[in-house]
Amino acid sequence: MAQRNILRTQPTPLLPAALLILALAAIVWFFALRPQGTPQMRLIDELERELSQVDTVEGRLTISLQDVTLEQELWVQRPQRLRTETSTGPGAFAGTIVVLNQEEGWVYSPALNMATVVDRSAYSAEAAGEPGAGSLLERMPDSILAALRGGSPLQRGATEIIAGRQATLLELTIPPGDPSFPLGTLRVWLDDQYSYPLAWQDSSNRTLRFSAIAFNREIDPVTFTFFPPPGAGVHRIDPKP
């Protein structure tokens, strides 16, 4: 009888192992939830997650530099598909159409009745400066993230309503040699839901601001194909290697 009671009260060898597993799981959970990196790196991660939810963008915007102001309509299918039509601007710019897709980049100037087309099948950021090969509006969200990743000092400002959406101001100090923005302060207002730039102003006083914008609406694929008007000249160039 005594021997039977001793056997009943002996601890099972599974209990310490189970406790050890629970302790290890708690440690893993703690480090998984612990914030990683600097506050700026965590902000960049958050912006990238939100921006990754954007498939399409449609909107109207104003771009100004010195005494030139352009009003444009914009369609974007990320990645590498864009169309802009300049509805208002000086005579040399009015009616200009830019169409970019994964195969070609077109710029049509009604003032010249000329369409320039570039092969984008081997597109790279280095070729984006070639006529028709790329667009600041195409690269804009990723250029801002790149400036943040480069360690540009950052200050967060107030929120305001732009194009009917809430946006938060970020002020970045752009260092020398940045490929997209001039040296100095860049002020950018990012959409609070998608982290897409709704407005920005750089140190050269170049400004962009949306007056209307919609995200993730279906866009007809034909939007990103260009057909030169009858009688228009066509000039084909290759981006520099």
Q: Map tokens 């009015």 to a residue.
A: 94
Residue 4's region, left for phi above 0, alpha for psi from -120 to 50, else beta, is: alpha
Give the pLDDT score at 122. Answer: 65
Give the pLDDT score at 84. Answer: 95
pTM for the full predicted model: 0.77
Give the pLDDT score at 25. Answer: 55
CA–CA separation, 107 vs 207, rounded Å?
A: 22
Sign of CA dihedral 43, 45, 46, 50: positive
Domains defined along the chain, listed by start: 46-237 (2.50.20.10)
DSSP the chain: -HHHHHHHHSPPTHHHHHHHHHHHHHHHHHHHHS--S-HHHHHHHHHHHHHTT--EEEEEEEEEETTEEEEEEEEEETTTEEEEEEEES-TTTTT-EEEE-SSEEEEEETTTTEEEEEE-TT--GGGTTSTTT--HHHHHHHHHHHHHHTT--EEEEEEEEETTEEEEEEEEEEPTT-SSS-SEEEEEEEETTT--EEEEE-TT--EEEEEEEEES----GGGG---PPTT-EEEEE----
Query: Which residues partner with 77 through β-bridges?
Result: 56, 81
User: Computed over its alpha carbons, how large is the radius of gyration of the chain?
Assistant: 27
Give the pLDDT score at 110. Answer: 93
* Per-residue pLDDT tens over the stretch 207-217: 999 999 999 99
* C-alpha 188: how far from chain center: 12
Give the pLDDT score at 240. Answer: 59
Give the pLDDT score at 7. Answer: 44
C-alpha distance across the termini of the chain, in Å: 91
- Residue 186 burial (10 A CB sphere; 0-12, 13-18, 19+): buried
Q: What mean pLDDT value characterizes the chain?
A: 82
* Residue of higher predicted confidence among 234 and 27: 234
